[in-house]
A and B are shown apart, each in its own frame.
Chain A
Amino acid sequence: MEQKVKEIIQHYHGDKSYLVPILQDVQKEFNYLPKDALCAVSTQLSVPISRVYEVVTFYKAFSLKPKGRYQLSLCMGTACHVRGAELIAGNIESILGIKEGETTEDLEFSFETVGCLGACALGPVLVVNGEYHGHMNIAKSTKILKKLGKKGATDDDQD
């Protein structure tokens, strides 16, 4: 892990002002920010761990907990909101049995709501592991979860 962190930091020439992008890259590598990685960043960049922690907890993009195999992000931009994204969020939460921002215990699914993704013509938009699914609705979200192997998603075949 330390080696990987070192490589990332080297890419930014050890410049402290790149702390945020460095952490982004570390998170990309490990899918979240493990404690050991944060300590490694702190030591190698000579930034106090308290500062690293402050930055990590300030920015939304960072997660201190592991994320699920399937990462679902539902756009909650204004355009998606006025087109009913909240009802879709409710549906996903009730099927997965978790709240927005959480991960299922089996580490299969993470669900988060995000600010505007700038794909408003497709709104509401659900992103599953980076893949966009546009014109989302309740039935379609159920279907996607079912396809990803979530039991308990109600049976229906309409689009």
Chain B
Amino acid sequence: MTTKIKSFDELKSIQERLKAGRDPKKPCITICVGTGCLAYGTQKLVDNFRAELAKRNLTEKIGFRTTGCHGFCERGPMVVIAPDKIFYQRVGLEDAAEIIDKTLLKGEIIERLLYVDPATGQKVTREDDVPFYKKQTRLVFGLNSKVDPESLDDYLAIGGYTALGKALTGMKPEAIIQEVIKANLRGRGGGGFPAGWKWDSTRKAQGDPKYVICNADEGDPGAYMDRSLLEGNPHLVLEGMIIGAFAIGSSQGYIYARNEYPLAIKNITLAIEQARQAGLLGENILGTGFNFDVKINRGGGAFVCGESSALFASLEGRAGEPRAKYIHATDKGLYDKPTNLNNVETWANVPFIIDRGADWYASIGTAGSKGTKIFSLVGKINNTGLVEVPMGTKLREIVFDIGGGIPGGKKFKAIQTGGPSGGCIPEQYLDMGVDFDELTKIGSMMGSGGMIVMDEDNCMVDVARYFTNFLVSESCGKCVPCREGVRRMRDILADITEGKGQEGDVELLEKMAAAIIDGSLCALGNSAPNPVLSTIRYFRDEYEAHIKHKRCPAGVCKALILYSIDPEKCTGCTLCSKVCPTGAAAGERKKAHAIDKALCTKCGACRESCKFDAIIVR
């Protein structure tokens, strides 16, 4: 697209033309090249496909598309072949030629590359039939597999920017805001604040210019849906932002992205450039006289910069310290001007609401939480990946039906949601429907949508220490309860995991938590005690085992465990003696080995190497 689109009608005819030029029956190879799949080395596979297609003179006849993340990261590299949507997973980098020759030219299925449903042992041929996808509602995220993130044409061909055209030509700003309020779109970045109300306040605020910002800092360790959206479908996020800017009355937007996300930054940068050239961004958008442009700013790797006032400071080129919010950001935000900050996923939902209407949108989800939510399902789970489900979906469905349960036949222990500000949810709540309010009720929160599954081998005190430690290093240090209090909590937790816990520690932690929640300036400090409180609430017995009995029931805390070898299971294969760095694990070939406790540093190398599960950790 090199010429500017001058009206909504022209946009529609371009969309029609692009759509008509695409034969849905034409064979097309789609490969995911999101960061997750690229880490498997997928670029090589892409190169191989291109070369093999060229070699056979098939570049015209067979379509080839690289896309963003499809969500099923566990099974990458992934190839989907249209029109039948044949799904190949864990594709080898050298498999390109075979796929072209057999599947595309002869219509043969390559059995070896099919997904096997572990529940039934059956091979699945079509993408839609894979249980991981089948039970999801891939509304926002589903578009990722339909577009090449580097192609504006792809996005236009699936009707992209229709919502923008509609908003700009047929709706008053107030009506757009009313639609978003009616849809009850709640912020996906953490707090769940109704986006429409925020837009309304910013619109009504005095001050000029007004800013619109997309929060793509995504500092929550274990969540990567924002990156995958920005990387896989940047125009969707951009379209949402432009609509929001029009409704709010803003002419300047920012995207604040994590520097650790180079591909997302590259793709959104390109999308902005394309949108400008096509007259969808910049001056006189779609010939309506509306002006809006977007700048990208990269963060410096500080979790606290995801917090609104810290983010503004960082955007202004300062250290990202939060400030007190006597005045709302909607009145005085970036450069003290009215500012509307929303999360990536929040923006990505906007075009759907405008395109299909608030009533349709509000028909999905629960009473208080509408629409879908993308979760990153990670940790001790068979199907690691990004999962999009309607609000209110039961945890059990997410973990077991979609996630495929826990690997190695281990027992589910807890699921952690809400990142470092969230909590650990025990088994008894697996049948709870996940939405903003339910999660808060049981002492956790939605956060950005990270879901970390833990099994019987995870120690909950260790997990609490892990999060607290993360927050100690991420606290900006401005206020004492957060800076010193959280550090002391971490020290107490560390003591407990090192066998130095004392009676009364748990009560002390609870007392400190209350003070920290009360006395901290920003939500980092306010919510820092959550991981500790929720683990105490649901796993108090584990704390007591550490403190009273000096035992770590899960076998994680080094100071409280001993390594030994089960002579019944040991076959004397000598592997452990080879990997042990200190010579503690030793024995004669074909005879049961033993571990010299005086030499053992509990590094875990033997347990990892043993093929017979003979290493006992207690």
Contact = CB atoms under 8 A, between A and B. Distances in A.
B39 A77 contact: no
B345 to A, nearest CB: 14
Contacts of A83: 379-380
Interface string A27-64: 00000000000000000000100010011001111100
Nearest to A133: B39
B159 interface: no
B318 interface: yes
Q: How large is the interface on A (under 10, 10 to 19, 20 to 34, 35 or more residues)?
A: 35 or more
Given A16-B317, A94-B603, A120-B384, A21 B301 contact: no
B317 A55 contact: yes
Interface stretch (B98-106, B109-117, B136-144, B292-300): B292-300
B579 interface: yes
Given A116-B220, A118-B261, A78 B603 contact: no
A20 B318 CA distance: 8
A114 interface: yes
Contacts of A79: 221-222, 378-379, 384, 452
Contact of B385 (A24, A121, A125, A138): A121
Contacts of A107: none
Interface in B199-255: 218-224, 227-228
Contacts of A134: 39-40
A118 B227 contact: yes
Interface stretch (B57-65, B268-276, B481-489, B604-612): B604-612
A47 B578 CA distance: 57
Given A78-B450, A84-B604, A94-B603, A125 B301 contact: no
B303 interface: yes
B513 interface: no
Given A20-B298, A21-B297, A24-B259, A139 B36 contact: no
**A-B CB proximity, top 6 nearest:** A59-B300, A118-B224, A121-B73, A79-B378, A19-B317, A77-B221
27 contacts: A19-B318, A20-B317, A24-B298, A51-B318, A55-B317, A58-B320, A59-B302, A79-B378, A82-B463, A87-B603, A87-B608, A115-B470, A116-B222, A117-B35, A117-B260, A118-B227, A118-B260, A118-B261, A119-B35, A119-B73, A120-B73, A122-B39, A122-B73, A132-B39, A134-B40, A158-B578, A158-B609
Interface of A: 16-21, 23-24, 47, 51, 54-55, 58-62, 76-79, 81-84, 87, 90-91, 94, 114-123, 125, 132, 134, 137-139, 142, 154-156, 158
Interface of B: 35-36, 38-40, 73-74, 76, 218-224, 227-228, 259-261, 297-303, 314-321, 376, 378-380, 384-385, 416, 419, 450, 452-454, 458, 463, 466-467, 470, 476, 575, 578-579, 581, 601, 603-605, 608-609
